[in-house]
A and B are shown apart, each in its own frame.
Chain A
């Protein structure tokens, strides 16, 4: 791998800026701008946090329902099953993130191995 390959071309970096950095940062900067006038513990903030949580839940669901890259090679039932199994263990272990994540991963890997 050459040095030039590691740097890449300026066109790709310009695309990163236009399609990645600006569309992403605009929301953080809006939050910084408008966040100033909102009181900690206000009703508005409770709603805002609920919507933030639900949007994040949508992002999670999207990665599982419409999987990117190599994850698309995993059958639907294994992806959904992995999340469900992880969730059950997460709840049984008094909300251990570690136990939930490991269970989900093991379920998916075992399923892939079993299905061949």
Chain B
């Protein structure tokens, strides 16, 4: 088996290098945090995030926002598409209200994402405030990685692990923002376009990779195909409409298969 090739091209579940569930490595929450932090080196998505946030730093520079502004947006918004939408709408002269609406529609997806991720790390004694940082850190990358890594982390250490993973990813992105901000003057238009194209490509493939059930595949494919139709209605809630319709159809497919089985 060409293991090296597989390790690089196909970051399969079995290749995640974490200690076994019963290892003493998991006894300390700080150790679990450190394992989470270290796990950023186990995924190609870290590189993709770096390039995406390089682009966001450059976009912020070109739209005349300050470096502090760009860093605060990464730290407190922590959602690539929302940040791109915020910068481009404000930069093109939209009002604060118009930008806020565009951002909030793109962010609706965070609600079901948080709802689906938090049960993976909750124990019967977990308090809501303990999950605060995990909720804040939840975005597409963390959502994908939680489904990949968490089955290999003991349940009582999962919050610490996720906090470490998120802390690492945010640090990478803050660094990328700073580099991108200072590089901006030297980025050609083609390179800028290539960096912006990374976001849809990586989002599409990382979500497709994580699709285990038919319902997930249907939701993804229909969601992409229905968006241009929903956009024609020009309601301002296009993504919400196509998402609800495509997601509900996908759930219907899941329900129908379960009933038949």
Contacts and interface: CB of A to CB of B under 8 A. Distances in A.
B170 interface: no
Contacts of B11: 97
B33 to A, nearest CB: 20
Interface centre among A12, A23, A57, by most chain B C-beta atoms within 10 angstroms, is A57
Interface residues of B, number: 106
Given A8-B66, A19-B96, A31-B114, A56 B119 contact: no
A63 B97 CA distance: 21
Nearest to B138: A28
Given A57-B219, A68-B196, A100-B205, A18 B10 contact: no
Interface string B199-214: 1111111111101000
Chain A: interface size category: 35 or more
Contacts of B90: 15, 19
A22 interface: yes
Contacts of B243: 51-52, 54-58
A68 B90 CA distance: 12
B247 A54 contact: yes
A77 interface: no
Interface centre among A32, A64, A90, A96, by most chain B C-beta atoms within 10 angstroms, is A32
Interface string B81-95: 111111010100000
Nearest to A15: B96
Query: Lowest 5 A-B CB distances belong to which pairs?
Result: A8-B66, A57-B223, A31-B114, A51-B247, A70-B192
25 contacts: A9-B66, A13-B69, A19-B97, A19-B103, A24-B78, A25-B136, A31-B110, A31-B138, A32-B135, A46-B215, A49-B216, A50-B219, A50-B251, A50-B254, A54-B219, A54-B226, A56-B109, A57-B243, A58-B227, A59-B239, A61-B224, A64-B200, A70-B192, A73-B190, A74-B197
